[in-house]
Chain A
């Protein structure tokens, strides 16, 4: 995304955070983005919170499968094998 003008407002910056984190930003825009971060605590905090949010979202994956549901999965596999053997 191209942003008009030399400086980026905070309101513009927050809408560019994902593009920045994805590494898909034009070099000129990235320079303005990073310059803004140097002087703006609010935007620095916003970016840090976005990073923290997506790290926290990643931890949702790490939960173990409950032993009960493993039993159900094993049972489903056994009956599928039986059906496959017959068919």
Chain B
């Protein structure tokens, strides 16, 4: 499960799993039963992955996420895709999403896109998306493990997911406003 977190590079992901396993075994003696074993293990895995990702960060192409990727404010969909204030229908789509047809042959590409995009998310968004959407933990478990409030967790999830959707759209060549930055 560590693999998806670090950009699809199997060797790095395998290293994470190995390292987490060793740290887990070594720290099992210190586990006092205050958290569930599951939370305890996830905490270890998250730490190992964070350290790995930090050392790998320079090799991740941040341009794949687009402008404003580092903040938690502002629109998650490019404002140019909506009609401006002066328009008869302000805020309505002028460049609506186009339907996706992803054939099985490109499923692998889709996974790579998702993995790369997750690896390049700001750390807090990456942790929330990994716990919620990759590992399948619920909102409460995620808040507890990461020390987040409900609303903050949801904002981070929203921003992370919006970037993943946009990354797929872009990969499929369907992003009408993306320009080279």
Contacts and interface: CB of A to CB of B under 8 A. Distances in A.
B164 A53 contact: yes
Contacts of B118: 57, 60
Interface string A27-64: 00000000000001111011001101110111111010
A50 B165 contact: yes
Given A45-B99, A72-B18, A80-B22, A12 B133 contact: no
Given A17-B158, A45-B99, A58-B134, A9 B82 contact: yes
B103 to A, nearest CB: 14
Given A10-B92, A41-B96, A58-B134, A18 B22 contact: no
Contacts of A49: 97, 100, 165, 168-169
B77 A11 contact: yes
Contacts of B10: 66
A57 B133 contact: yes
Interface residues of A, number: 38
Interface centre among A14, A50, A61, A63, by most chain B C-beta atoms within 10 angstroms, is A14
A17 B158 CA distance: 8
A59 B136 CA distance: 10
Given A40-B92, A72-B18, 17 more contacts: A10-B92, A11-B82, A18-B154, A41-B96, A49-B169, A50-B162, A50-B165, A52-B100, A54-B161, A54-B164, A56-B110, A57-B133, A60-B115, A66-B14, A76-B21, A80-B22, A80-B26
